[in-house]
Amino acid sequence: MKVYVTGRKGGTGKTIVALYLMYKLKLMGFRVEFKDLSENGIGGTFLKKIGFRRDPKPHYVIYDIKSSAIDGSQDMTILVIEFPFIRLETWNWPNKKILVINKANPFPDKFIQQLEQIKSLVPEFDHVVVVPFNGFLFNGELSSEPVLDKLSLIVSGKANDKLVLPFVEEAGRTIH
Protein backbone atom coordinates (compact mmCIF):
# COMPACT_ATOMS: atom_id res chain seq x y z
CA MET A 1 0.00 0.00 0.00
CA LYS A 2 1.34 3.41 -0.98
CA VAL A 3 0.77 6.03 1.72
CA TYR A 4 1.59 9.64 0.88
CA VAL A 5 2.25 12.01 3.79
CA THR A 6 2.11 15.54 2.43
CA GLY A 7 1.26 19.16 3.17
CA ARG A 8 1.09 22.61 1.63
CA LYS A 9 3.87 24.28 3.62
CA GLY A 10 7.09 23.46 5.38
CA GLY A 11 7.49 22.99 9.11
CA THR A 12 4.13 21.36 9.83
CA GLY A 13 5.63 18.05 10.94
CA LYS A 14 5.07 15.96 7.80
CA THR A 15 8.39 14.16 8.15
CA ILE A 16 7.94 13.28 11.83
CA VAL A 17 4.39 12.01 11.13
CA ALA A 18 5.72 9.89 8.23
CA LEU A 19 8.62 8.53 10.30
CA TYR A 20 6.39 7.81 13.31
CA LEU A 21 3.89 5.99 11.10
CA MET A 22 6.65 3.90 9.50
CA TYR A 23 8.12 3.08 12.92
CA LYS A 24 4.76 2.05 14.44
CA LEU A 25 3.76 -0.08 11.46
CA LYS A 26 7.11 -1.86 11.74
CA LEU A 27 6.50 -2.47 15.47
CA MET A 28 3.08 -3.88 14.55
CA GLY A 29 4.85 -6.52 12.45
CA PHE A 30 4.37 -5.05 8.98
CA ARG A 31 7.16 -4.86 6.42
CA VAL A 32 7.76 -1.21 5.54
CA GLU A 33 9.73 1.04 3.26
CA PHE A 34 10.26 4.80 3.55
CA LYS A 35 10.74 7.06 0.54
CA ASP A 36 11.81 10.63 1.15
CA LEU A 37 10.56 12.79 -1.70
CA SER A 38 10.40 15.93 0.42
CA GLU A 39 12.25 19.12 -0.35
CA ASN A 40 14.65 18.87 2.60
CA GLY A 41 15.46 15.12 2.77
CA ILE A 42 15.48 15.07 6.59
CA GLY A 43 13.62 11.75 6.90
CA GLY A 44 15.95 9.85 4.61
CA THR A 45 19.00 11.31 6.34
CA PHE A 46 17.61 10.33 9.77
CA LEU A 47 16.96 6.74 8.65
CA LYS A 48 20.46 6.40 7.15
CA LYS A 49 21.94 7.70 10.40
CA ILE A 50 20.17 5.03 12.48
CA GLY A 51 20.90 2.27 9.94
CA PHE A 52 17.32 1.61 8.80
CA ARG A 53 17.02 -0.80 5.92
CA ARG A 54 13.86 -1.21 3.89
CA ASP A 55 12.03 -4.49 4.18
CA PRO A 56 11.73 -6.75 1.14
CA LYS A 57 8.22 -6.90 -0.33
CA PRO A 58 6.84 -4.21 1.99
CA HIS A 59 3.21 -4.14 3.07
CA TYR A 60 3.44 -0.34 3.30
CA VAL A 61 5.55 2.19 1.44
CA ILE A 62 5.45 5.49 3.33
CA TYR A 63 6.26 8.54 1.20
CA ASP A 64 7.31 11.84 2.76
CA ILE A 65 6.29 13.80 -0.31
CA LYS A 66 5.81 17.42 -1.33
CA SER A 67 2.29 18.17 -2.54
CA SER A 68 3.46 19.14 -6.03
CA ALA A 69 4.78 15.59 -6.56
CA ILE A 70 1.49 13.81 -5.85
CA ASP A 71 0.64 11.75 -8.91
CA GLY A 72 -2.61 10.02 -7.94
CA SER A 73 -1.05 6.55 -7.67
CA GLN A 74 -1.27 6.43 -3.87
CA ASP A 75 -3.73 4.27 -1.93
CA MET A 76 -3.99 6.70 0.96
CA THR A 77 -3.11 10.36 1.47
CA ILE A 78 -2.32 11.93 4.83
CA LEU A 79 -2.43 15.73 4.74
CA VAL A 80 -0.54 17.37 7.63
CA ILE A 81 -1.45 20.94 8.60
CA GLU A 82 -1.14 23.03 11.75
CA PHE A 83 -2.84 25.98 13.41
CA PRO A 84 -3.60 28.54 12.21
CA PHE A 85 -5.06 26.72 9.23
CA ILE A 86 -3.92 27.45 5.78
CA ARG A 87 -6.81 27.60 3.37
CA LEU A 88 -7.63 24.10 2.16
CA GLU A 89 -8.68 23.88 -1.44
CA THR A 90 -10.69 20.89 -2.52
CA TRP A 91 -8.27 18.14 -3.42
CA ASN A 92 -9.74 15.48 -5.66
CA TRP A 93 -7.84 12.52 -4.29
CA PRO A 94 -9.32 9.28 -5.58
CA ASN A 95 -8.44 7.43 -2.39
CA LYS A 96 -8.68 7.46 1.38
CA LYS A 97 -7.96 10.93 2.82
CA ILE A 98 -6.72 11.51 6.36
CA LEU A 99 -6.19 14.96 7.83
CA VAL A 100 -3.59 15.31 10.59
CA ILE A 101 -3.79 18.62 12.43
CA ASN A 102 -0.44 18.88 14.15
CA LYS A 103 0.75 20.92 17.14
CA ALA A 104 -2.69 21.59 18.66
CA ASN A 105 -2.60 23.84 21.71
CA PRO A 106 -2.32 21.84 24.97
CA PHE A 107 -4.15 24.50 27.03
CA PRO A 108 -7.86 23.60 27.42
CA ASP A 109 -9.33 27.05 26.65
CA LYS A 110 -7.23 27.43 23.48
CA PHE A 111 -7.84 23.82 22.46
CA ILE A 112 -11.62 24.30 22.73
CA GLN A 113 -11.36 27.29 20.38
CA GLN A 114 -9.34 25.20 17.95
CA LEU A 115 -11.87 22.37 18.22
CA GLU A 116 -14.56 24.66 16.82
CA GLN A 117 -12.43 25.15 13.70
CA ILE A 118 -11.66 21.44 13.46
CA LYS A 119 -15.33 20.45 13.38
CA SER A 120 -15.79 22.17 10.02
CA LEU A 121 -13.06 20.01 8.43
CA VAL A 122 -14.28 16.60 9.60
CA PRO A 123 -16.81 16.03 6.76
CA GLU A 124 -14.13 16.61 4.10
CA PHE A 125 -11.95 13.66 5.18
CA ASP A 126 -12.29 9.96 5.95
CA HIS A 127 -10.45 10.53 9.24
CA VAL A 128 -9.22 13.56 11.18
CA VAL A 129 -6.43 13.16 13.74
CA VAL A 130 -5.55 16.04 16.08
CA VAL A 131 -2.01 15.86 17.48
CA PRO A 132 -1.16 17.97 20.53
CA PHE A 133 2.05 19.94 20.63
CA ASN A 134 4.66 17.43 21.80
CA GLY A 135 8.11 18.83 22.51
CA PHE A 136 9.79 15.47 22.00
CA LEU A 137 8.26 15.01 18.55
CA PHE A 138 8.94 18.66 17.72
CA ASN A 139 12.63 17.95 18.39
CA GLY A 140 12.61 14.85 16.19
CA GLU A 141 12.37 12.17 18.88
CA LEU A 142 10.00 9.29 18.16
CA SER A 143 8.49 9.30 21.65
CA SER A 144 5.08 7.80 22.33
CA GLU A 145 2.12 9.84 21.12
CA PRO A 146 -1.28 8.13 21.57
CA VAL A 147 -3.04 9.91 18.71
CA LEU A 148 -0.28 8.95 16.27
CA ASP A 149 -0.55 5.40 17.58
CA LYS A 150 -4.25 5.58 16.65
CA LEU A 151 -3.29 6.93 13.21
CA SER A 152 -1.13 3.82 12.73
CA LEU A 153 -4.10 1.63 13.64
CA ILE A 154 -6.32 3.52 11.16
CA VAL A 155 -3.76 3.16 8.36
CA SER A 156 -3.40 -0.57 9.08
CA GLY A 157 -7.18 -1.06 9.08
CA LYS A 158 -7.32 -1.96 12.79
CA ALA A 159 -9.31 1.17 13.76
CA ASN A 160 -11.89 3.29 11.98
CA ASP A 161 -12.31 6.40 14.16
CA LYS A 162 -13.63 9.40 12.22
CA LEU A 163 -12.18 11.94 14.68
CA VAL A 164 -9.20 11.27 16.95
CA LEU A 165 -8.65 13.87 19.66
CA PRO A 166 -5.80 14.26 22.14
CA PHE A 167 -6.30 14.30 25.88
CA VAL A 168 -9.15 11.77 25.65
CA GLU A 169 -8.79 8.47 27.47
CA GLU A 170 -10.22 5.42 25.78
CA ALA A 171 -13.61 4.44 27.19
CA GLY A 172 -13.40 1.30 29.27
CA ARG A 173 -9.64 1.46 29.63
CA THR A 174 -8.46 -0.28 32.77
CA ILE A 175 -5.48 0.66 34.85
CA HIS A 176 -3.33 -2.20 36.09
Spatial distance between the Cα atoms of 22 and 122, rounded to a whole number of angstroms:
24
Instruction: Look up the domain containing 65 and give its range.
Output: 2-164
Is 169 a member of any domain? no
Per-residue pLDDT tens for 110-154? Answer: 888 888 888 888 888 999 999 988 777 666 667 788 999 999 999
Query: What global pTM score does this model have?
Result: 0.86
pLDDT for 98 = 94
Read off the amino acid at residue 150: K
Per-residue pLDDT tens for 56-91? Answer: 999 999 999 887 777 778 899 999 988 776 556 556
Is 8 a member of any domain? yes
Question: Could you tell me the CATH number of the domain that includes residue 78?
Answer: 3.40.50.300
Is 171 a member of any domain? no
Confidence of residue 45 (pLDDT cuts 50, 70, 90): confident
Total domain count, the chain: 1
Span 29-54, average pLDDT: 84
pLDDT for 118 = 86
- Tell me the percentage of the chain whose pLDDT exceeds 70: 86
Q: What is the mean pLDDT of the chain?
A: 83
Is 175 a member of any domain? no
pLDDT for 173 = 40
Is 172 a member of any domain? no
